Structure 1
Amino acid sequence: MGESSELRRWDEMIPDALGLIFSYLSLQDVLTVVPRVCKSWGGAVAGPYCWQEIDIEEWCERSKPELISRMLQLLIPRSSGSIRRLSVSSLPNDPIFRYIANHVSSLQTLEMPRSEISDPIVEEVAGKFSNVTFLDVSYCVKIGARALEAFGKHCKALVGLKRVMHPVEVAEKVCQDDEAHAIASTMPKLKHIEIAYLLLTNVGILDILSQCRELRFLDIRGCWDVKLKENFLKEKYSGLKVLGPLIVDSYEMNYWDECSNYSDSSGYLSWEFMDDVVGEYYDGFSDDDDDDGAWDDGQGLEGLEVRFYGGGFNGGSAGFDWPTSP
């Protein structure tokens, strides 16, 4: 057999293998570079193989709210219902959360910190997240015990919860033991809980400890009214690791400069939807729409412009100061 017959052509690889390879590339490369290489690669990134895990959390932190909705409408349909992990940030409203719920029946990990979602919408659609095992609703200031209870009642397999807040966001609240009670009463299988800076007391924490018997990690940094003795915890919950409450962390220094996970010293990426182009491909997603207005995958990227700006991504100005286009 000749040497040439033993060589495999990249464009002849099966789509799921290509999808696995492309998953190591950046989002902008997958969306704008790979499809232009060849027809088979374009088909792979247009199908579900690349989109079983969608992580655009960092991109969301740097984008305008209306673009976040449009990007999700572009990417989620590509998964064909097979998406297992969705990591976003700053969802702008309830309708886009409803849209997500209607298209992610196989979802196992849902991370959506800093999202502008409400208790009523969570109560409405939580049943569609029944397969979720890890949930991150940190810094979601418009939800409370009602939303947590709704998630807990429907996400029976939930083993990880992240509900971290910023001290400023809870400054006007008196007590959030109701959230602790919602966690304790509806999420008994939790093994990992992060609830730093919630305004909790011993009552709320003991409620969680008594009901979540499989708990192995509990983050209560900044929960200053929790005063449980170390000996008590070691004796009653020997297999539990507790972080806090008396730990000086970056919130006591500078929130934006030290706490942001989105710092980048090499410049940052801005995605802009040009009005004159988007109008041709975007059917119009409004606050009143549920599922309509999804992009045509074959053409939607033509309305997407990728630009790099020098000078670095400074957490202190994240989302507030947009540089002038070159």
Structure 2
Amino acid sequence: MEEESEFRHWDELIPDALGLIFRNLPLQEVLTVVPRVCKAWNRAVNGPYCWQEIDIELWSNRRHEPHHLDRMLQTLITRSSGSLRKLAVTGLQNDSIFSFIAQHAGSLRMLRVPRSDLSDSVVEEVAEKLSTLTFLDLSYCCKLGSPAIEAIGKHCKSLVEFCRNMHPLDVASVSSHDDEAYAIANSMPKLKRLEMAYLRVSTEGVLKILSSCPSLEFLELRGCWDVQLDSKFFKEKFPNLKVLGPRVVGFYEMMNDWEDCSDYFSDGSEYLAWEFLDGEMGEFYEDEIDFGFEGAFYAERLNSDFEPYLWPPSP
């Protein structure tokens, strides 16, 4: 009798609870193992309960054929049935899949699509459908510019976090990104966090952002060599603002200085209230994954968020 009372009827859990549990499992297991356990689990996996938050960024980092990535997104987003709140994916290869995402973005609040081959025109076309966003990451999207940013700012009135980091090699031939800085300033007044590492912005462009975004709490400027920060001015004018950059810290220097996070001065540049984000620096994955979607899928060995710390330090 005691043994029977301790038996847990996992198949009797409501779908919402099962969805919360399955979100903690690897994507491979959710798609291939869980549905075969029992009918209740199969219904949960094929319903919206597991797919309100979709994070396939590590998997998509492995440059798959575009139609493999598109098919995965279409499958998972369709299962969310309009309840999708978070989507993280990298390397979208065409405008059509971004349009598909926007068509199902009625509840979407967080969107990460770095390294995607998107055009200004598609972002302008679908920005209105992304109006519920509070977080957007368009880092390393080299074809996008100020028109896309203005469209996002115009329609996404609740946006408080925006990431627009670039790789130094991608901006080597760009003379200025001030048009993007002004687009941010003119259309995103509620921003609390802004990342724009390696954008070719001027001091004037940064000051325009600061004067137009009074709620800004964190500003990433690593690699923005044209920006000159006056530490005294910033401390007096923006006492609650945390600034990272423009100087870039090399990986080993960063590790050596990890415990010393005091204000840092160098050539007129300063880390104001030096801070690093919470969370792991990187995760390693060993398993090779095959979901049966016409090809082998792989999990990325190194979290893409770790990449900036492998860039060269300031010259």
Letter in 1 for 2:173: E
Equivalent-residue separation in structure 1 for 2:290 and 2:76 (angstroms): 17
Correspondence for 1:88: 89
TM-score by length of 2: 0.82
Equivalence map 1:1-326=2 (5 Å): 4=4, 7-62=7-62, 63-250=64-251, 264=284, 266-269=286-289, 273-274=293-294, 313=301
Most deviating of 40-49 and 261-270: 261-270
Contact 1:113 1:138 in 2 (8 A): yes
Q: Secondary structure at the match of 2:73?
A: helix
**Ranges in structure 2 where 5+ consecutive residues have no aligned partner:** 255-280, 304-315
Deviation at 1:269, TM superposition (A): 3.4
Distance 1:2 1:171 in 2: 70
- Which one-letter code corresponds to 2:293 in the other structure? F
Query: What do residues 143-175 of structure 1 show as CA deviations (whole Å, max 9, x unaligned)?
Result: 011101100000000000010000010111100
- Match of 1:231, as an amino acid? K
Give the structure 2 partner of residue 294 of structure 1. Answer: none
In the TM superposition, residue 217 of structure 1 has moved relative to its aligned partner by 0.2
The AA in structure 2 aligned to 1:4 is E
Give, in angstroms, the shift of residue 271 of structure 1: 5.0
Secondary structure at 1:242's aligned position in 2? strand
Report the Cα offset of residue 194 of structure 1: 0.5
1:104 Cα offset (Å): 1.6
TM-score (norm 1): 0.79
Q: Quick one: which amino acid aligns to residue 227 of structure 2?
A: V
Cα distance per residue 1:232-264 (max 9 Å; x no partner)? 1101100000000012245x99xxxxxxx8763
What is the SS of the residue equivalent to 2:215? coil
Alignment correspondent of 2:264: none
**Secondary structure of the equivalent of 1:161?**
strand
Shift of 1:203: 0.9
Aligned to 1:282: none
Q: Which amino acid aligns with 2:26?
A: S
Give the superposition deviation at 1:65: 2.1
How far the C-alpha of 1:76 sits from its partner, in A, is 0.2
Contact 1:66 1:92 in 2 (8 A): no
Alpha-carbon displacement from aligned partner over 1:51-88 (angstroms, at most 9, x marks no partner): 00000011101133221101001100111100100001
Structure 1: distance between partners of 2:287 and 2:23 = 22
> Closer, same or farther in 2 for the Cα pair 1:32/1:199, shift >3 Å?
same
User: CA 1:8–1:77 in structure 2 vs 1: closer, same or farther (change >3 Å)?
Assistant: same
Instruction: Find the residue that maps to 1:19 and give its secondary structure.
Output: helix
Distance in 2, Cα, partners of 1:124 & 1:114: 20
Q: Report the equivalent of 2:273.
A: none
With over 3 angstroms needed to count, the CA separation of the structure-2 counterparts of 1:306 and 1:235, relative to structure 1, is closer
Give the letter for the 1:27 counterpart: L
Contact in 1 for aligned 2:289/2:296 (Cα 8 Å): no
- How far apart are the structure 2 equivalents of 1:226 and 1:306? 42
* Structure 1 Cα separation of the partners of residues 212 and 236 of structure 2: 17
Do 1:52 and 1:83's aligned partners in 2 also have CA atoms closer than 8 Å? Answer: yes
Q: Matched residues in 2 for 1:209 and 1:314: separation?
A: 34
Please give the root-mean-square deviation of Cα atoms over the aligned residues, in Å. Answer: 2.6
Q: Tell me, in whole angstroms, the C-alpha distance in 1 between the residues paired with 2:148 and 2:298.
A: 38
Q: Is the 8 A contact 2:201 2:226 kept in 1?
A: yes
Q: What amino acid is the match of 1:264?
A: F
Change (3 A) 1:212 1:30: same
Distance 2:4 2:285 in 1: 45
User: What SS class does the counterpart of residue 194 from structure 2 fall into?
Assistant: strand
Q: Which amino acid aligns with 2:179?
A: D
- Alignment match, 2:306: none
Local SS of the residue matching 2:132: coil
Contact map agreement 2:206 2:227 (CA 8 A) in 1? yes
Distance 2:301 2:147 in 1: 36
Equivalent position SS for 1:180: helix
Distance 2:193 2:4 in 1: 53
C-alpha separation between the residues in 1 aligned to 2:35 and 2:285? 28
Whether the 8 Å CA contact 2:223–2:248 is kept in 1: the answer is: yes
8 A Cα contact 1:28 1:306, kept in partner: no
